[in-house]
Amino acid sequence: MRVRSKDWWERVVLKEFSDEEWKENFRMSRRTFDKLCGLMSCVLKPEDVTVRAPVPLQMRVAIVLYKLASCSEYRVVANQFGVSKSTVKKFVYIFCKGMVSSVLQKIIVVPTAEEASAIARRFEQKFHIPQIIGCIDGTHIPVLPPSEGYKDFVNRKGWPSYVLQAVVDDTYRFWNISCKLPGSAHDANVLRHSALFSHADQLPKGLREINGVAINHFLLGDPAYPLMEWLIKGYTHSPRITPEQESFNVYLSSARTTVEIAFGRLKSRWRVLLKRSDFHFTFTPHVIATCCALHNLCEDEKDSVNPTWTDEAAALAADLPQPGARAHNTDTAGGQNIREVLTDYLSTNFPLRRPLF
């Protein structure tokens, strides 16, 4: 494959870009980029024998990052790098499929027992609720849906999407994701079809006695999820709740901002998740998972998110508003008991809180 014009890429190679320009185009530092090239070398490395000079590995990775960060059409990305449109598409597909098949499992992983205990300690230090090892939530990602089965993809806000379910720790890293079901699916149904639900018994336990009751580690969710021993949510307002229960809801909501922030940082980096792209709908889950893995890599390397990216992402997100959570009323006795114990623990040891509005 012959490179037609290397002017822009040569400026990149010659380091004529400032650090800010680099991050603006590729959404990560040069250090993180080099680490990513190492991780993806087995997937994207050029062939040893070719008729024409192959596109270098670094350029291949840069092409993919530029596409994911800008959500530009294949044609625009091709012009920027001086390659053909088919070359851009080929690299994006190879990169994302390779990420999911061979690299993702190294970057998005369930915490070990020791790591889970550390996460729980940090959550408790920040938000006072003990035993939290993650917050779970869903967000809708735009998709170009098929003509057959289109209605399955349309969410309650009227636009087609996939549901990305994610579990996030206190440092905004994803340690579990699922993006298989279309936008019409309820969050509780997305959970039931995920590996997280199937293997919930394998989550780190970390038993701790609270007010005389042994409680394992658990996740925090919103009203859309069932209340279970390993997934705790707040109280509903029907018919009425006590001041202690209301205060528990406020503490829980404060802790759950971590997953909202994580989704915000994810989409600020990878704007491809904010617009209907030119990917085939069956490939879109690979793109979503790849962006989540790249997000973790950036968080691991302490790469900051430019506030300008956040503002741009918020403007794009306003065009496709997220559906609100629909309450799910399946509550187990074990989950109810744990929530009551936690409510008593918080009301006894910390000030009662009320929502600001």
List pLDDT tens digits, range 192-226: 999 999 999 999 999 999 999 999 999 999 999 99
Higher pLDDT, 293 or 328: 293
Predicted local distance difference test score (pLDDT) of residue 7: 73
For tokens 């969410």, the residue is 155
The answer to whether residue 310 scores a pLDDT higher than 90 is: yes
- pTM, two decimal places: 0.94
Confidence of residue 48 (pLDDT cuts 50, 70, 90): low
pLDDT range class, residue 330, cuts 50, 70, 90:
confident
Q: What is the pLDDT at residue 53?
A: 75
Convert 138-172 into a string of H (helix), E (strand) and C (coil): EEEEECCCCCCCHHHHECCCCCEEEEEEEEECCCC
The mean pLDDT value for 113-134 works out to 98
Within a 10 A sphere around the Cβ of 99, how many other Cβ atoms? Answer: 25
> Is residue 54 scored above 90 in pLDDT?
no
pLDDT at 136 over 80: yes
Residue pLDDT, tens place only, 85-98: 999 999 999 999 99
- Euclidean distance between CA atoms 25 and 316, whole angstroms: 18
Buried b (16+ CB within 10 A) or exposed e, 142-166: bbebeeeeeeebebeeebbbbbbbb
Residue 213 DSSP class: E
Average pLDDT over all residues of the chain = 92
pLDDT of residue 5: 47
CB 65 within 8 A of CB 7: no
